[in-house]
A and B are shown apart, each in its own frame.
Chain A
Amino acid sequence: MENNLIQFATTLLVTLRDVLPILILIVGFQLLVLRQPIPRLSRVVVGVVYVIVGLALFLVGLDMALFPLGQTMAAQLSDPQFLTGIENAAPVSSWQSYYWIYIFAALIGFATTIAEPSLMAVAIKAHEVSAGTIDKLGLRIAVAIGVAVGIALGTFRIVHGSPLYLYILAGYVIVIVQTIFAPKKIIALAYDSGGVTTSTVTVPIVAALGLGLSEAVPGRDPALDGFGLIAFASLFPIISVMAYAQQAAWSSRRRSKKGSKEDRNAV
């Protein structure tokens, strides 16, 4: 208990150091550049205390829960005994045997993305920008599928051991080609959606999943193969948002064509 308290106190100090730059920036600009007092000072002070204590609690919980969870899931789902059903089986290296990992990765990606609050905000804005052709729920499902496919493909890459940059390069080429054809208004929004899908809770679990997996699969090195899942999770939504916008624009064009034809027929 005493040990835990000392650990929490050190975390608190480190957290203070982490939050200090942004405090200095905002207070400094307010006082020196704008030369205005800080409005509602007491509220601000309480807020800063919340920020520091909250971040410290999060970091302690991270070590207790999120990292171990991701690693345990990776270890259990890649355990040779679980994969083959034989006791004391040798480690499995064929990528086909790891299908539960791919399913797990896809489900984690889909579930966390569909519930992500910042994605809901993006969906509402996309609905406005596209003048209603983009459906909010449809967009969220599109992004969630993008993340699910991305993370599943990322785990496959770890098991298979192929180089990360090839996948990312292919993704970039797809994004560039889509950029040429997608509705102009949606492009910036699609690019941003890649950044917002990975929440603070998801990142550590997904990272630990990848690292745990690279430790369990024979012939893989965590330093070389363990990272990269988050890169997949932030690239694929860009592709799926543009694809969804293209599809929406296409079908609304077709509808309006059909509509004008019917009008003519009516006349």
Chain B
Amino acid sequence: MTSRLFVFKTISKFAAEKLWASCMDLLPIVVVIAFFQLVVIRQPLPNFVEVAVGSLLVVVGLSLFVQGLEMALFPIGESLAQALARKGSLLWILLFSFLLGFSTTIAEPALIAIARESGEIAAKSGLISAEEAVIASYALGLRISVALSVGIAILIGTLRIIRGWPIHYLIIGGYVMVMVMTMFAPAEIIGIAYDAGGVTTSTVTVPLVAALGVGLASIIRGRNPLVDGFGLIAFASLLPMVFVMGYGILIFK
């Protein structure tokens, strides 16, 4: 009886909060596009029904996804990060940071989306062969290079919090690496590489990585969680650019 009540409560809470949040994600886009369709273009949107059904799936899917993360992964992830920080073993903390960056990036929906799109574009322009298996493996390779780089970035960022390095040296170093790689990378990879930086850190990575950073900063003496806990994410969006350009050098040359 209590468990049924619990399920009912979770579901109704879910329906209210998460659906509302996902709708708010989509709403501004709907408003802008509706304005343009009605006022500027003045043409009906082609395949309107499919778009409406698809938007509904996006809203429901994203709400479920975030709700599931909050129920299952975030509480354990956060307590793990804090327990590891308290335990004080540098090796375990660093290993955990790397694996956390890698595995959350592999599950990042926006990255899945853009890697897929990039595979199709590469096939259309004849850079890779147009077989579905080739496109899929290109997209997966892209995601793995991004995930590796986010893992390494989080590892370095964690070291930064422990050692107290100033964040802007890392960022400026990252900028220099991006520009050096741009000189060597094939032109076809540069756009997607630059975009990969912005995509890596959204739904899954940010909350867990932020928990790790804030947990570490609040345990190490002399660190301010508000100042030292941040900056991990910024660094995690620079390294993917470098790694994806490296992937491009391997694949296209």
Contacts and interface: CB of A to CB of B under 8 A. Distances in A.
B222 interface: no
A229 interface: yes
Nearest to A126: B226
Contact of A19 (B32, B71, B107, B236): B107
B107 A29 contact: no
Interface in A185-211: 185, 187-189, 191-192, 194-196, 198-205, 207-208, 211
B100 interface: yes
Most buried by A among B24, B52, B69, B206: B69
A13 interface: no
B1 to A, nearest CB: 16
Nearest to B99: A25
Interface residues of A, number: 102
Nearest to B52: A65
A66 B52 CA distance: 10
A229 B196 CA distance: 11
B67 A164 contact: no
B38 interface: no
B76 A26 contact: yes
B57 to A, nearest CB: 3
A40 to B, nearest CB: 8
Contacts of A164: 190-191, 194
Interface string A48-69: 1111111111111111111111
Given A68-B51, A211-B121, A227-B191, A204 B72 contact: no
Nearest to A125: B226
Most buried by A among B110, B124, B192: B110
Nearest to A234: B198
Contact of B190 (A21, A24, A165): A165
A207 B195 contact: yes
B43 A76 contact: yes
A198 B108 CA distance: 13
Contact of B71 (A50, A68, A226): A50
Given A198-B198, A201-B62, A221-B125, A54 B206 contact: no
Contacts of B237: 194-195, 234
A23 to B, nearest CB: 8
Interface in A36-87: 38-39, 43-69, 72-73, 76-77, 82
Contact of A201 (B25, B41, B125, B171): B25
A114 interface: yes
Interface string A1-42: 000000000000000001101111110011001100011000
Given A54-B61, A61-B57, A69-B33, A203 B230 contact: no
15 contacts: A50-B68, A50-B71, A60-B57, A62-B54, A117-B25, A129-B226, A191-B230, A192-B233, A192-B234, A198-B199, A201-B22, A203-B199, A227-B192, A231-B195, A233-B198
Which A-B residue pairs are the 8 nearest by beta carbons? A47-B72, A65-B54, A64-B54, A50-B68, A227-B191, A57-B61, A54-B64, A61-B57
